[in-house]
Amino acid sequence: MKQIIRYKCDVCNKEYNNKEDCKKCESRGIPDITQYPIGCIDGDHSDNAFYRDITFAIALVEKDSYFKHNLLISAYACRDNGAGDNLSISDNLCIGNHNWEKGNSANINWDKPATKRLLLFLKEQGITPTAWDGEKAIPVNKEFL
Q: Which is nearer to Zn ion, 24 or 123 (CB)?
A: 24
- In angstroms, rounded to a whole number, what is the distance separating the alpha carbons of residues 132 and 139? 9
Question: Which of the stretches 17-25, 37-45, 94-102, 126-134 binds Zn ion when contact is defined by CB under 5 A?
Answer: 17-25
Q: How far is the CB of 23 from Zn ion (least distance, A)?
A: 10
Question: Which of the stretches 25-33, 97-105, 107-115, 124-132 binds Zn ion when contact is defined by CB under 5 A?
Answer: 25-33
- In angstroms, rounded to a whole number, what is the distance separating the alpha carbons of residues 82 and 114? 11
Q: Which residues pair with 137 in a beta bridge?
A: 132
Q: How many CB atoms lie within 10 A of CB 107?
A: 14
- In angstroms, rounded to a whole number, what is the distance separating the alpha carbons of residues 37 and 43? 15
Which listed residue (1, 3, 8, 11) binds Zn ion by CB under 5 A? 11
Nearest residue by C-beta to Zn ion?
A: 9
Using CB under 5 A as the criterion, which residues of the chain lie in contact with Zn ion when the complex forms? 9, 11-12, 25
